[in-house]
């Protein structure tokens, strides 16, 4: 009896460990955060086009699952490609492609299969959604991971293109016409990413330096990085004026968040603890994105 129970527990632990490794391989945190922006883009397309949400459950399913698959698959390919440098960084050295818990060939097969399946699902909604999904994959896997990440300080900006396409995918799955609002969502995501990742890079600057990744703080230093962060945050200020169709409450909320982020950015010039400031900027950026995209849904429901 005890031996049987021990074997059952061991099998359960192995299955749990394998599942955790899989979630790490596909970077589940990135997948989940992008689901929010994809859903928001899709929801707003339903709202502004007048299409019925509950009568389009097939589109909703294909969009959310399809976009999740291409993001997860792209992240898996990224992990395979970066396994030679991930062991240097604390936040990535435990990835299964580094520890060997998932063989690189298997991980690559999983990633490519998920990209293929996700792309097919997106094309089943609209051609526009499928094409945008493919563009996102190409930008992340080829232009960012394989080309710019290890060569150019502009790698963050290149990577921001792929990070900005999820709301476009969501919108295009419902309305392939892509209105001005859809492109403003893209711009919001694109502009948000440099200050978000530059703040992270300041926190992890020594790890990036050890991995020989030319992130802005590594190449130009903290002072220049602060300038760039403030400039990118300031570039967000005009965007709420292009989202007035979402109502005055959202405009006030978005503007307040923009001003608050800019004020925190400017405070960095006076704070002596630059790592603490970068941590505050990073946390603010996470809350900023989540709250604004959830608010877009709420203001169109109430």
DSSP state at residue 95: S
Within 8 A by CB and 6+ apart from 144, the residues are: 155, 158, 159, 162
Residue that is last in its domain, among 115, 150, 178: 178
Asked if residue 172 and residue 42 are part of one domain, the reply reads yes
Answer yes or no: do 146 and 199 share one domain. no
- Mean pLDDT in residue range 15-40: 91
Please report the pLDDT score of residue 9 as a whole number. Answer: 55
HSE at residue 119, side-chain half, CA atoms within 13 A, is 16
pLDDT exceeds 80 at position 214: yes
Would you put residue 27 in left (φ > 0), alpha (ψ -120 to 50) or beta? left
Q: Provide the domain count of the chain.
A: 2
Confirm whether 193 is domain-assigned.
yes
217 neighbors 229 (Cβ within 8 angstroms):
no
Kindly report, residue by residue over 126-150, the tens digit of the pLDDT. 999 999 999 999 999 999 999 999 9
Residue 171 lies in a domain: yes
Assess whether 25 and 155 both reside in one domain. Answer: yes
* Tokens describing residue 148: 């710019």
Is 6 part of any domain?
no
Please indicate, yes or no, if residue 131 is contained in any of the structural domains.
yes
pLDDT for 205 beyond 90: yes
Does residue 163 form part of some domain?
A: yes
Residues 220 and 116 in one domain: no
Asked if 163 contacts 189 with a C-beta cutoff of 8 angstroms, the reply is yes
Q: For residue 12, is it within any domain? A: no
pLDDT over threshold 90, residue 266: yes
Same domain, 118 and 65: yes
Same domain, 173 and 193: no
Same domain assignment for residues 26 and 147: yes
Among the ranges 1-5, 27-31, 201-205, 232-236, which has the highest mean pLDDT value? 232-236
215 and 84 belong to one structural domain: no
With a cut of 80, say whether residue 13 has pLDDT above it: no
Report d(CA 210, CA 125) in Å as an integer.
Answer: 44
- Kindly state whether residues 208 and 256 are assigned to the same domain: yes
pLDDT tens for 173-203 read 999 889 999 999 999 999 999 999 999 999 9
Same domain, 41 and 163: yes
135: domain CATH number? Answer: 1.10.357.140
- Residues 281 and 233: their CA atoms lie apart, in Å, by 11
Instruction: For the chain, give the mean pLDDT.
Output: 93
226-251, pLDDT tens digit by residue? 999 999 999 999 999 999 999 999 99
User: Residue 13: inside a domain, yes or no?
Assistant: no
For residue 18, name the pLDDT band (cuts at 50, 70, 90).
confident
User: What is the pLDDT at residue 180?
Assistant: 94
Same domain as 144, residue 44:
yes
Q: Which of 132, 160, 178 is the last residue of a domain?
A: 178
Predicted confidence at residue 198, as pLDDT, reads 96
Higher pLDDT: 138 or 87? It is 138
Q: Say what the pLDDT of residue 1 is.
A: 54
Q: Which domain holds residue 299?
A: 179-302
Percent of the chain with pLDDT over 70: 95
Instruction: Say whether both 202 and 278 belong to one domain.
Output: yes
Which of 129, 150, 178 terminates a domain? The answer is: 178
Summarize the confidence of residues 9-32 as an average pLDDT.
81
């Amino acid at each position: 009896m005890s031996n049987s129970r021990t074997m059952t527990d061991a099998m359960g632990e192995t299955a749990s460990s394998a599942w955790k490794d899989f979630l790490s391989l596909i970077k589940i945190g990135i997948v989940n955060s992008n689901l929010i922006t994809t859903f928001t883009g899709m929801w707003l397309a339903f709202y502004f086009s007048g299409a019925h949400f509950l009568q389009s459950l097939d589109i909703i399913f294909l969009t959310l699952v399809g976009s999740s698959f291409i993001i997860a698959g792209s992240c898996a390919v990224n992990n395979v490609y970066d396994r030679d440098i991930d062991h240097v960084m604390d936040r990535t050295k435990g990835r299964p492609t580094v520890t060997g818990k998932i063989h690189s060939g298997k991980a690559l097969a999983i990633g490519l299969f998920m990209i293929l399946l996700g792309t097919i699902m997106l094309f089943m909604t609209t051609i526009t959604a499928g094409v945008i999904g493919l563009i996102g994959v190409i930008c992340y896997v080829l232009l960012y991971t394989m080309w710019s990440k290890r060569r150019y300080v502009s790698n963050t900006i290149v990577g921001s293109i792929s990070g900005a396409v999820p709301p476009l995918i969501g919108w295009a799955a419902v309305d392939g016409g892509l209105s001005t609002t859809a492109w403003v969502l893209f711009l919001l995501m694109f502009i948000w990413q440099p200050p978000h990742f530059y703040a992270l890079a300041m926190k992890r600057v020594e790890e990036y330096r050890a991995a020989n990744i030319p992130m802005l703080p590594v190449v130009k230093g903290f002072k220049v990085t602060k300038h760039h962060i403030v400039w990118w945050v300031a570039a967000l200020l005009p965007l709420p004026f292009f989202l007035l169709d979402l109502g005055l409450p959202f405009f006030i909320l978005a503007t307040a968040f923009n001003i608050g982020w800019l004020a925190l950015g400017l405070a960095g010039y006076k704070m002596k603890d630059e790592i603490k400031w970068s941590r505050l900027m990073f946390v603010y950026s996470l809350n900023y994105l989540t709250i604004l995209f959830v608010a877009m849904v709420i203001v169109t429901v109430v």
